Amino acid sequence: MTPDQCPKCSTPPASGDLFCENCGFDFITGSDPEPDTAAAAIENPGVVAMITVDVDHHRYMDPDGQLKVPDPMPEPASITLAPASLIGRRSQSRGVYPEIDASALTGDPAASSRHAMLRRREDGGWVVSDLSSTNGTYLRREGDDPRMLEPGAEEPIDEDTIILVGAWTAIRLVSPHMPEPQGR
């Protein structure tokens, strides 16, 4: 349930917000955002998200083909990750500017404005959580079928994990020094 105001900065949130758009306070966990994003990125250099179009995910999400995959296909994009990186779709009217904008990068109209969150753990590993998105967040490992995440649950990920959002957006973390996930 969204509070009437942020307990940290007193900003009134929009209905259904999972974190404060002003200061980043997480209403679900009751925790502050990671401090000093720039310093944390320097401590963990080289972790990027590779964003591509996944035609198999599109067939799974839209078996009737109502949404058309971009033609020509957008080039793969890479985004250097902050310790907490929002995945979604930009919304000027709601003031949402995700670090990984599925609509801008892949032309995906089915990503929610606040779709999922990537967070770096203290041990340098990464977790992803679905933010109660409309179409869900899926994870797929090589050779496995995709599985949908429970909203709000954090799932450890590694370089063999593909995060699937919207109708066709695929995200894979790439780093030469990314530790193995713990707690699977």
Rounded-to-integer distance, Cα 110 and Cα 87, Å: 12
Rounded-to-integer distance, Cα 41 and Cα 31, Å: 20
Task: Check residue 102 and report its DSSP letter.
Answer: H
- Residue 180 is predicted with a pLDDT of 52
- Residue 143 is predicted with a pLDDT of 80
pLDDT in tens, 96-147: 899 999 999 999 999 999 999 999 998 888 999 999 999 999 999 888 889 9
**Alpha-carbon Rg for the chain in angstroms:** 16
Residue type, 56: D
Stretches where the chain sits below pLDDT 50 are 36-44, 184
DSSP 115-169: EEEEEE-TTS-EEEEE-S-SS--EEEETTS--EEPPBT-EEEE-TTEEEEETTTE
DSSP 31-75: BPPPS-HHHHHHHSTT-EEEEEE-HHHHHHH-TT--SPPPSSPPP
Residues with Cβ within 8 Å of 168's Cβ and at least 6 positions away in sequence, in order, are 53, 54, 55, 57, 58, 61, 67, 69, 106, 108, 110
Cβ(159)–Cβ(126) below 8 Å: no
- Residue 40 is predicted with a pLDDT of 43
- Residue 148 is predicted with a pLDDT of 96
Cβ(127)–Cβ(154) below 8 Å: yes
Task: Check residue 104 and report its DSSP letter.
Answer: H
Rounded-to-integer distance, Cα 88 and Cα 85, Å: 10
